[in-house]
Chain A
Amino acid sequence: MFPLGIWPYITGGLIIGIGVSFVYILTGIHSTQSSLFSTTMSYFSKIPYFQRKTYLESREWRLYFAAGVILGAVIYTLTVSPDGWWTTSVQVWRLVIGGLLVGFGTRLSSGCTSGHGISGIASLSTTSLFAVITFILFGIISAQLVTFLGVLP
């Protein structure tokens, strides 16, 4: 069940939780991920959907947060990573089609693995619980289908 052991996952999750908790205790903000795509679009698109008040209020801190996420992974790579710089072998067509579905789906659902998954369930939201069960179930179906069709990794 855990070919790489359990500790990297548990400690990684704790570190993530500490980051989210740190932000919440100091600011009351739920530092979640997928809204970034919509709030950043408010800099470029005039349509009302993107110009809503909550997006305009959060678009700046979401960019700081995203920059932190990227740089946090850079720091990991430069310090304790056993691999150094690393590149995926998942095909570009999968990144493109998968990315389109992920961008569309997370925004339609108002949350992703962090918004529904971490902050939502930690808030005891049944909506988020249903969302998480659904995307994990369909994630498994999708990944199994891809494997069944002989597409690796």
Chain B
Amino acid sequence: MNNRNIVLFIGGLTFGFGLAWGGMSKPEVVLSFLQLKDYGLILLMGAATVTTFVAINIVPRFVKEPLLGGEFKPRTRTLNRNTIIGAIIFGLGWGLSGQCPGSALASLGIGNLPVLIGIAAMFVGSYAMGRFFG
């Protein structure tokens, strides 16, 4: 296990703990947002985004490059038809099941074993996308 993988593992631990702490490891809590009963998901996403905004936009003004090497580069993607069609399909599945990729992994960690079926389905869906539309 090299240093980079250790950092990613610790970052993952933190991410998963935060998801569970904020309730998002439960599909029911995600669904209660999409059913417009509890707007907490927006607060959680907002707090995570603001913190990450500081790391991406402000820290690089004082630290020239990542401490373990590499480069600071904001995450950008080109907007095209697939971005939006994909987001529509994702949204439909999200609203049906209350699962998204990160929350499903954290859900497994709180002992929600049925989500293994959901994660397997995500792999199948990703494979189908790459195989037939990639």
From residue A17, how far is it (CB to closest CB) to chain B in Å?
A: 3
Interface residues of B in 55-96 (CB under 8 A from A): 55-57, 59, 63, 65-79, 82-96
Write out the residue numbers on chain B whose beta carbons fall within 8 Å of the beta carbon of A56: none
Residue in A75, A102, A117, A130 whose CB lies within 8 Å of B17: A75
* Chain A residue total in the interface (Cβ 8 A): 122
**A53-B76 Cα distance, complex, nearest whole Å:** 18
Which chain B residue shows the least CB distance to A98? B97
Which chain A residue shows the least CB distance to B66? A28
Residue in B12, B24, B112, B131 whose CB lies within 8 Å of A47: B131
- A150 in the interface, Cβ–Cβ < 8 Å? no
Q: A28-B65, A70-B16, A105-B93 are in contact. Are A21 and B77 (CB under 8 A)?
A: no
* Chain B residue total in the interface (Cβ 8 A): 118
Q: A9-B44, A24-B52, A109-B90 are in contact. Are A15 and B114 (CB under 8 A)?
A: no
Which chain B residue shows the least CB distance to A66? B105
**A118-B113 Cα distance, complex, nearest whole Å:** 26
Mostly, the B contact residues are: helix
Interface residues of B in 28-53 (CB under 8 A from A): 28, 31, 34-41, 43-53
Which chain B residue shows the least CB distance to A117? B45
Contact B63 A17 (CB under 8 A): no
Which chain A residue shows the least CB distance to B76? A125
Contact B70 A99 (CB under 8 A): no
Write out the residue numbers on chain B whose beta carbons fall within 8 Å of the beta carbon of A33: 100-102, 105
Contact A118 B105 (CB under 8 A): no
Contact A72 B49 (CB under 8 A): no
Q: A111-B77, A140-B36 are in contact. Are A73 and B25 (CB under 8 A)?
A: yes
Contact A11 B126 (CB under 8 A): no
**A50-B126 Cα distance, complex, nearest whole Å:** 10
Q: A25-B67, A98-B118, A112-B90 are in contact. Are A104 and B56 (CB under 8 A)?
A: no
- A123 in the interface, Cβ–Cβ < 8 Å? yes
Write out the residue numbers on chain B whose beta carbons fall within 8 Å of the beta carbon of A127: 76-79, 83
Which chain B residue shows the least CB distance to A41? B127
From residue B7, how far is it (CB to closest CB) to chain A in Å?
A: 5
Write out the residue numbers on chain A whose beta carbons fall within 8 Å of the beta carbon of B131: 45, 47, 49
Chain A to chain B contacts (Cβ below 8 Å), 30 pairs: A1-B38, A2-B39, A6-B43, A9-B40, A13-B18, A13-B44, A16-B18, A16-B44, A19-B15, A20-B55, A21-B52, A61-B5, A64-B6, A69-B13, A74-B16, A76-B109, A87-B111, A88-B27, A97-B121, A98-B94, A104-B86, A105-B90, A106-B86, A106-B90, A110-B86, A111-B77, A117-B49, A118-B45, A127-B76, A131-B86
